[in-house]
Amino acid sequence: ASTLTIKDLHVAIEDKEILKGVNLEIKGGEIHAIMGPNGTGKSTLSSAIMGHPKYEVTSGSINLDGEDVLEMEVDERARAGLFLAMQYPSEISGVTNSDFLRTSINARRGEGQEISLMKFIREMDKTMDLLEMDPNMAQRYLNEGFSGGEKKRNEILQLMMLQPKIAILDEIDSGLDIDALKVVSKGINEMRSSDFGCLIITHYQRLLNYITPDYVHVMMQGRIVKSGGPELAQRLEAEGYDWIKAELGIED
Ligand code: ADP
Ligand code: MG
Ligand code: MG
């Protein structure tokens, strides 16, 4: 199984330090959740892992199976088996969903290992069916005019087709109605295996009613300040974050 190891990660945006020493290890077979108030650096963490140019890693390390992720270009990170579902997926006009997906899969597989068109279509049909997606979605331009729920389902379609080693899902649950939430959860649960590790970033405990994480972490002010099991998410839902602030002596 794969391991993503983040050590003492410091990240700045435009010279302002946002992450102030994050430590986290995600192994294949594990589902981790990061929760935390708005503006604490959750999306900054996912952007830094994927190599968004705006996020400067000032110190610390990110390794995937011993390889230095910070030395990799963005496309190399995807090829190495990292997957990021963004909080706000971008629209690409002129590129169909299906073409985008096949190109991504082939980029991940590498030259000479391309998926056959038949196999690709078969797997896409099957996965779209599982995610209860309209078959027409395959031929639409990527994310163009997709509803919030369609975008999120589409991210999970990409996840399931690409079979990454480690996935980071940033607020995959935001703006979803309960049916879409169940479908998205079904897709993620379907991925569960010793070959797949997952970091779910979420504001709400709701999603975690459908996907039981092995570990729950609380991020505040750019650090993971508390870790526990699924019961921690339930306590946050019931009591909010103030008790953690009090426990740690953190002030707003
Ligand atoms: P979260 O995902 O936990 O809500 P973010 O990582 O999005 O938090 O943001 C953390 C902090 O970094 C916030 O203060 C936010 O304003 C700032 N920030 C995030 N992205 C940018 C950006 N692209 N430019 C400037 N500041 C940013
Ligand atoms: Mg936010
Ligand atoms: Mg965010």
Q: Is the CB of 221 under 6 A from ligand 1?
A: no
* DSSP H helices in 65-211: 74-80, 97-109, 117-130, 148-162, 178-191
Q: Which residue has the tokens 């430590």?
A: 23
Provide the pairing of β-strand 31-35 with 215-220.
parallel
Q: What is the mean pLDDT of residues 223-229?
A: 97
- Ligand 3 midpoint to CA 118 (Å): 38
pTM equals: 0.93
Tokens representing residue 224 in the block: 């993971």
Distance 13 CA to ligand 1 centre (A): 8
Residue 243 lies in a domain: yes
Domain count, the chain: 1
Query: Does any ligand 1 atom lie closer than 6 A to the CB of residue 40?
Result: yes
Q: Please report whether residue 142 resides in a domain.
A: no
> 60 by DSSP, 3-state: which?
strand
Does residue 149 sit within a domain? no
Distance CA(119)–CA(138), nearest Å, equals 15
Does 158 map to a domain?
A: no
CATH number of the domain to which 216 belongs: 3.40.50.300
Is the beta carbon of 51 within 6 A of some atom in ligand 1?
Answer: no
How many angstroms does the Cα of residue 100 sit away from the middle of ligand 3? 25
Assigned token pair, 79: 């090829």
Q: Which domain holds residue 219?
A: 3-91+164-248
CA-to-CA distance for 207 and 191, rounded, in angstroms?
16
Q: Tens of pLDDT along 186-222?
A: 999 999 999 999 999 998 888 999 999 999 999 999 9
Query: Ligand 1 in contact with 93 (CB < 6 A)?
Result: no
Residue 145 counted as domain residue: no
- Cβ of residue 122 lying under 6 Å from some atom of ligand 1: no
The amino acid sitting at 171 is E
Predicted confidence at residue 130, as pLDDT, reads 95
Give CA separation, 178 vs 89, 174, 225, 228, in Å: 20, 11, 30, 26
Average pLDDT, the chain: 92
Contact 55, 13 (CB under 8 A): yes
| CA 53 to each of CA 47, 89, 91, 124: distance values in angstroms, whole numbers, following the listed order | 9, 16, 19, 31
Comparing CA positions, the residue from 198, 208, 173, 133 lying closest to residue 2 is: 198
CA of 201 to the centre of ligand 3 (A): 8
**Distance separating the N- and C-terminal Cα atoms of the chain:** 40
Contact (Cβ atoms closer than 8 angstroms) between residue 135 and residue 115: no
Determine, yes or no, domain membership for 25: yes
Q: How confident is the model over 150-194, as pLDDT tens digits?
A: 888 999 999 999 999 999 999 888 888 898 899 999 999 999 999
Q: Is the dihedral of CA 244, 245, 249, 250 positive or negative?
A: positive
Model pLDDT for residues 89-141, shown as the tens digit of each residue: 677 778 898 999 999 899 888 889 999 999 999 999 999 999 999 999 888 88
ipTM score assigned to the predicted complex:
0.93
Q: Which ligand has the shortest distance to the CA of 39? A: 1
Q: What is the sign, positive or negative, of the torsion defined by CA atoms of 174, 179, 184, 188? A: positive
Q: Does any domain span residue 238? A: yes
Per 3-state DSSP, the chain is made up of helix, strand and coil in percentages (nearest 5) of: 40, 30, 30
Beta carbon of 39 within 6 Å of any ligand 1 atom: yes
- Which residue, judged by its Cα, is nearest atom 15 of ligand 1? 39
156 assigned to some structural domain: no
Ion ligand 3 residues within 5 Å by Cβ: 42-43
